[in-house]
Structure 1
Amino acid sequence: MADEEGVLTNLDNTGEPKPNGADTQPAIGLITQYVKDMSVENPNAPDVFQWAEPPQLDVQFNIGAEPVGPDVHEVILKMTITATAPRGKAYIVDLAYCGLVGMRNVPEEQGHAFLYAEAPRLLFPFARRVVADAVRDAGFPPLMLDPIDFNGLYIQRLQARRAEEAAGGEPIAPVTGNA
């Protein structure tokens, strides 16, 4: 901002200094990402490697977000992959893949959408690689999970919650809950 003489100042419209100059602008960024928890089970080894029937896959996922500090949230992409053949379980992979997201001066609705749609979209390719490596390390061909439309799922979940609220019932998920 420039004063009447064209000199740049670091004051807001009340004449008070702005914190760190540009801290009033909205900002979102992925700080780091990591495996928080992971387990791989191969309950029928070594017999499973002689089974001729290909396993059927069941892929479940859940998204959560929690504040961990001022302007920082942990986004959790929880995935459970179960491969089952007619003779039993071939393998089970449980993964909690997380990212720390920094958000400052972001409206609540946009922040919620980022935490439950965009952040999981950013984390997914890395979580998919962890799953592929885990399945390969368990002795099976690497599993390349299909991409997930997190934004579409977020919109569906939001619409369902609004419809439930409009019908007079309890929302199906709290605003800060799982998407």
Structure 2
Amino acid sequence: MTETNGNAQPAQPQVKMQALAQYVRDLSFENMVAQKGIGGADVQPDIQVQVSLDARKRQAPNHYEVITKFKVTSKNKTGGETLFLLELDYGGLFQIEGVNEEQLHPFLLIECPRLLFPFIRRIISDVTRDGGFPPLNVDNVDFLALYRAELQRRAAAQQNAPSTDAVS
């Protein structure tokens, strides 16, 4: 017998998401100011943040791994010298049920990183502070916009790829 929601329509399966684990997969921080002696009153940091995402199925049923990669570069606006470089790969293991196959990919690359982001922000803040700089509080990341931009980039790359059907 099919369960209904009162309007004689089958009920949607309830989405269940559980974070099983979170971890730092890779972390690197290079303080160029200390290494090269860059300094003075004319240091004006320009901070660039790059974010990339990856997700894959694990062997256990309904288990997925999501890796969020942050690359934070601080350069001096006046001279262009790199002040610091921080690279963080932060992973999460999730158990996800009730998400249909068409929606699983966006769910993994939007909802899971949203859950991980506060922890990533704290790590970046702590590492920059412990590295001798003011703590960097990374702005919120719009993972939906990031996902859509990646889809557009892939579609454009596919359109610009040479056709393999052409006869030479």
Partner SS for 1:48: coil
Count residues in correspondence: 147
Decide whether aligned partners of structure 1 residues 58 and 25 sit closer, same or farther in structure 2, where only a CA change above 3 A counts. closer
Amino acid at match of 1:65: A
**1:54 paired residue among 44, 50, 55:** 44
CA apart distance, 1:162: 5.7
Q: Does the CA-based 8 Å contact 1:73-1:102 persist in structure 2?
A: yes
**2:59 paired residue among 69, 85, 110:** 69
Aligned-residue Cα RMSD (Å) equals 2.5
CA apart distance, 1:155: 3.2
Gaps of 5+ in 2: 2-12, 163-168
Partner of 1:97: 90
Q: Does the CA-based 8 Å contact 1:44-1:88 persist in structure 2?
A: no
1:10-159 matches, within 5 Å, as: 26-45=15-34, 47-70=37-60, 71-85=62-76, 86=79, 88-158=81-151
Mark the structure with the bigger radius of gyration.
Answer: 1
CA apart distance, 1:51: 5.0
Decide whether aligned partners of structure 1 residues 82 and 114 sit closer, same or farther in structure 2, where only a CA change above 3 A counts. same
Decide whether aligned partners of structure 1 residues 80 and 160 sit closer, same or farther in structure 2, where only a CA change above 3 A counts. closer
Partner SS for 1:99: strand
CA apart distance, 1:50: 3.7
Partner SS for 1:39: strand
Gaps of 5+ in 1: 2-23, 171-179
Amino acid at match of 2:126: D
Decide whether aligned partners of structure 1 residues 93 and 160 sit closer, same or farther in structure 2, where only a CA change above 3 A counts. closer
